[in-house]
Amino acid sequence: MNTASSPTAPTGTGAEARTTVVVGADPLRAADVVAVARHGARVEIDPAALVRVAATRALIESLADDPAPHYGISTGFGALATTFIAPERRRQLQASLIRSHAAGTGPEVEEEVVRALQLLRLQTLATGRTGVRPVVVQTYASMLNSRISPVVREYGSLGCSGDLAPLAHVALAAMGEGEVRVPAGADGGGPVAASAALADAGLAPLELREKEGLALINGTDGMLGMLLLALDDLSMLLDTADVAAAMSIESQLGTDAVFAADLMALRPQTGQTASATRLRRLLAGSPIMASHRDPAVCTRVQDAYSLRCSPQVHGGARDTVEHARIVATRELAAAVDNPVVTVDGRVESNGNFHGAPIAYVLDFLAIVVADVASISERRTDRALDPARSNGLPPFLADEVGVDSGMMIAQYAAAGIVSELKRLAVPASVDSIPSSAMQEDHVSMGWASARKLRRAIDGLSRVLAIELLTASRALDLRSPLVPAMPTGAVRDLVRTRAGGPGPDRFLSPEIEAVTDLVASGTVSAAADAALARGPGGAASEIRPDAEPAS
């Protein structure tokens, strides 16, 4: 579950269809960031943006000639802001800033995260509010298009003046220093010298001038990029959670009556209504559900909460995702730098780089990820307990007593859920002072984002285990068959994992189904079945089928 190298990181929705993203005309959309970061879309700079950038640069150069000190232009940085820097030392000042701030450590950060923060920093540079030269904007765009991905390390950002260390590693590579990754070739895909990668792409290393070093590292781009990628993942994973819940409810002979539209209208929560609607559609036309609708066959009054309250939990998570999307959309429209060049030409210090707004929602999402995984694990556990599964064999084992069935798969899910609860502890409530107490309150937003990525990986695995369990349970309800959508997902699972039978090596099957979950294949299979028509069985019920009790 190490997200720095996880092969099963969710890949979200359909942003891959976008092949070119224009930067500088309008604020980027979330789908634009996903397309560039995750699917390799190219970027183009709007010509009008380069005109704005050049005009603002002229203002910075006039201030550089002013004998009065201007922060970041003719002074040091942070706690050294009162130190005046002579003109002949300012290029060294900018280079020293980047070299000293590229102090990350730990495992490498995923390429998609690096590309996201590169793109988001490029967007701010293209606003014309940072004071960099046009060549800086063009170099960042060219690095993205050449698939030059700077090596960024896991630890180093406090989310105070933005993601200083991660952004400094990107700026260092643009200067032709440090290491980068490029598309695998003769080097085998290992890290290469940034100078060599730039030369191979026909790019000249940047020699930074006044203000440019600051402009390249003062931003919330890393935590925002990870938030946008997480939102892409969670939109798909919450749909998948509904599918898994439907399969568990169906295979455990639960009722869908509690998801009725009029009952949902009594509590008009948007996400709850969406999940309940999806559950009704997923279960419509199910012969398994029909087999126990007669009160004479099924005398249970209520299902357990993990079945009955699935739309309430999944829906609350959906609403939290939408709140986080609002915050992310606002941040996409921001020009985060310090100092910043205002529209009327002032150069002003500010605190817009503080990551608190993003950190809060990243932590909020980690909470709901843990809870969605928790209810999923409870549904899995119910399927394995003959006292609660309504007729299924203990642990769905083939020969009870000899075989253990899905027993330890549930242990794995339980262990992940326990870790997700720890990851749900918010990082944003912590703060540790830095820079000689100049940066005395920090957001820890980068840490919030990193643990959310790990949590999302864990949710994918917990849902995969539920899908494996529910698929086996549906098979054990034969000769009754499931609804068309749940049957389609069961059939998809069967392409990667065997059905009921004697015990076998389960780990490869869990990994394979996790890949199906994380890639969005499970959600897409359910959606395709829903699109074919309203309800219907996966296949015909055999004439001699006995109703399940």
Q: Known catalytic residues? A: 71
Distance CA 236, CA 520 (A): 6
H helices of 211-298, in order, are 212-217, 221-251, 261-265, 270-283, 287-290
Sign of the C-alpha dihedral computed for residues 328, 330, 333 and 336 taken in this order: negative
- Copy the structure tokens of residue 327: 């915050």
Q: What is the identity of the amino acid at 547? A: P
Beta bridge partners of 42: 20
What is the signed CA dihedral for 151, 154, 159, 165, rounded to 10 degrees? -40
105-108 and 153-155: which strand pairing? antiparallel
Q: Is the N-terminal amide bond of 479 cis, ω within 30° of 0?
A: yes
Q: Tell me the torsion sign for CA atoms 91, 94, 97, 98.
A: negative
- Indicate the Cα dihedral angle 226, 228, 233, 236, nearest 10°: 170
Residues 180 and 226: beta-carbon distance below 8 Å: no
Write the DSSP symbol of residue 69.
-
Omega cis (within 30) before 500: no
Report the alpha-carbon distance of residue 419 to residue 475 in Å, rounded.
Answer: 31
DSSP annotation of 315: H
The Cα–Cα gap between 223 and 228 comes to: 9
Residue for token pair 């394979």: 512
d(CA 223, CA 362): 8
Cβ burial 481-490 (10 Å sphere, 16+ → b, else e): bbbbbbbbbb
The sign of the CA dihedral 172, 177, 179, 184 is positive
Tokens at 76, concatenated: 């040091």
In contact, 130 and 215? CB cutoff 8 Å: yes
- Coil vs helix vs strand at 127: coil
Q: Which ranges constitute the DSSP H helices of 155-211?
A: 164-174, 194-200
Q: Where are the beta strands (DSSP E) in 127-209?
A: 149-150, 153-155, 179-181, 192-193
